[in-house]
Amino acid sequence: MRILFVGDSMTVGSAGDTTWRYRMWQHLNAHFGGPYRIVGPRTALHEDSLDYADPDFPERARRHLAGWGEGWLQLTPLIGDAVRKGKADTLLVALGLIDLGFYTDAAQTAENARRFLAEARTANPLLRAVILPVIPNIRALTDPGFAAECARFNELLAKTVADLSTPVSPLLLATEPPEWTLDRDTYDGTHPSASGEHLIAAAFADALHQGWSVGAPYEPHGANPA
């Protein structure tokens, strides 16, 4: 299994962050039980920082295609090359919040998600993907229009996954963490704290296990489990 993490600022992290990618790496080491590799063209946090909270997080496991301020819109032109060069066969995708916040409405964002998947499948027709719905941030508490766009996009994303999933290239929609709390699970109303990192990793790990019998149900490792 060759895994490519794809996301925006919630996935790439910034200096001093652990990242949910790290939590997922720990989980795979403990529960996957087979050979795997994390692939991708990037290894750094925001602004090219390499100051991960755990310096023992190895470079080979830091690989990703994620960026601060980058969403479906920006990563669609890059995904084919990343899949091709990394020989990725499994995508774990957390995108959409930055798109809805700055670039596109729900319908346009959903269309970009379809383009993204088409580009990824051009590089590997047997690709499978787990996609996380948008987790609304603090803006949704005070901006009803933005909250409605997040909800609408998640509806369209579910339809996209259902429409495009095939037996040879299956897609899974992860379950948005139902117990997500901004005060506990983010450090600024958007970006995940340690408990938020565990919840995001759990959403992907549980989808992989339930949908494709990959690994096991998520069990937190390290400090500050959710």
Q: What is the pLDDT of residues 149-181, one digit of tens each?
A: 999 999 999 999 999 999 999 999 999 998 899
Q: What is the pLDDT of residues 186-197, one digit of tens each?
A: 999 999 999 999
Rounded (5°) CA angle 174-70-107: 60
- Structural tokens at position 113: 């998600």
The average pLDDT across 30-43 equals 94
Residue 113, pLDDT above cutoff 60:
yes
Could you give the 3-state DSSP secondary structure of residue 64?
strand
Q: What is the pLDDT of residues 114-149, one digit of tens each?
A: 999 999 999 999 999 999 999 999 999 999 999 999
Residue 223, pLDDT above cutoff 70:
no
- Structural tokens at position 148: 């409605």
Sign of the Cα torsion 214, 218, 223, 226 reads positive
Residue 37, pLDDT above cutoff 90:
yes
The average pLDDT across 53-65 equals 97
HSE toward the beta carbon, residue 154, CA cutoff 13 A: 15
Residue 222, pLDDT above cutoff 90:
no
Q: What is the pLDDT of residues 4-34, one digit of tens each?
A: 999 999 999 999 999 999 999 999 999 988 8
Alpha-carbon distance 35 to 225, whole Å?
A: 26
The average pLDDT across 31-46 equals 95
Per-residue pLDDT, 224: 42
Per-residue pLDDT, 5: 98
For the chain, strand residue ranges (E) read 2-7, 37-39, 65-66, 90-94, 128-131, 171-173
Answer for the pair 26, 221: CB distance below 8 angstroms, yes or no.
Answer: yes
Answer for the pair 27, 219: CB distance below 8 angstroms, yes or no.
Answer: yes
Residue 225, pLDDT above cutoff 70:
no
Per-residue pLDDT, 221: 73
Give the dihedral of Cα atoms 218, 220, 225, 226; nearest 10 deg. Answer: 0
To the nearest whole number, what is the mean pLDDT of the chain? 96
**Domains identified in the chain and CATH numbers:** 2-212 (3.40.50.1110)
The average pLDDT across 216-226 equals 67
